Amino acid sequence: MKSPLTSLLFSFLVTVCFGQAEFFNKLSESAISLTNQKVIYDPKYYTIKYPNGDVPSDRGVCTDVVIRAYRNLGIDLQKEVHEDMKNNFSAYPKNWGLKTTDKNIDHRRVPNLMKFFERRNTKLSITDNSVDYKPGDLVCWNLGGAITHIGIVVDIKSNDGKRNLIVHNIGGGQVLADCLFEYKIIGHYRYSK
């Protein structure tokens, strides 16, 4: 016979697991919806409002796909990254020679997002097994040299049914692509607030 505490704990775990699965499914849907918007790849520095700032809606880079997908679910990565960087600046990469935070751009840099997700204990294993990459996961790649990239795994499969597709912007706007293993994976995360 189960104790009331065991039953309560089991019920709590089931609720949390289903809630998390629902969140990541919504993140996948949010990312897919972004592919309906025409966006020109534009890495230009913009001064944006804070919090909930965004570059012009018809502009963006790979990080803006992630930022917009989360923002559709009420999570402001601009604010979250800025606050964490402000309190833990020394933990973040110094790739750009910054001496302090910049709420206009910090959240739009892949290495900063990687560090933020890592600091939130959301880092997952990097494997060559496609089943390890679930809808709602974030994947980061090295495109060569110091060029990094990020995208969101979604719940649409490749034509051969072996991989989930990615929503990203690598130069052609916010698109859906079969590119999970096209580049060297350097980060794999599953983040919810």
The sign of the CA dihedral 174, 179, 183, 186 is positive
What per-residue confidence (pLDDT) applies to 17?
42
Q: Contact at 8 Å (CB) between 61 and 43?
A: yes
The whole domain housing 102 covers: 4-189
Query: Does the pLDDT at position 5 exceed 70?
Result: no
Domain count, the chain: 1
- Interior CA angle at 172 toward 181 and 71, to 5°? 85
State how far the Cα of 124 lies from the Cα of 138, in Å rounded to an integer. Answer: 10
Average pLDDT of span 57-77 = 98
Question: Which of 151, 143, 146, 131 is closest to 183 using CA atoms?
Answer: 143
Does the structure show a pLDDT above 80 at 4?
A: no
CB of 138 closer than 8 Å to CB of 191: yes
Task: Kindly state the average pLDDT of the residues 75-90.
Answer: 98
Q: Would you state the pLDDT for residue 193? A: 81
Q: What does the pLDDT look like over 119-176, one tens digit per residue?
A: 999 999 999 999 999 999 999 999 999 999 999 999 999 999 999 999 999 999 999 9
pLDDT grade for 18, boundaries at 50, 70 and 90: very low
Say what the pLDDT of residue 19 is. Answer: 63
**79: closest CA among 101, 46, 56?**
101
Give the separation between CA 101 and CA 170, rounded to whole angstroms.
25
Residue 107, pLDDT > 60, answer yes
Residues 6+ apart with CB under 8 A from 166: 139, 151, 152, 153, 154, 176, 177, 178, 179, 180
Crossing angle (nearest 10°) for helices 77-87 and 110-119: 70
Residue-level pLDDT at 20: 83
Quote the pLDDT of residue 98. 85
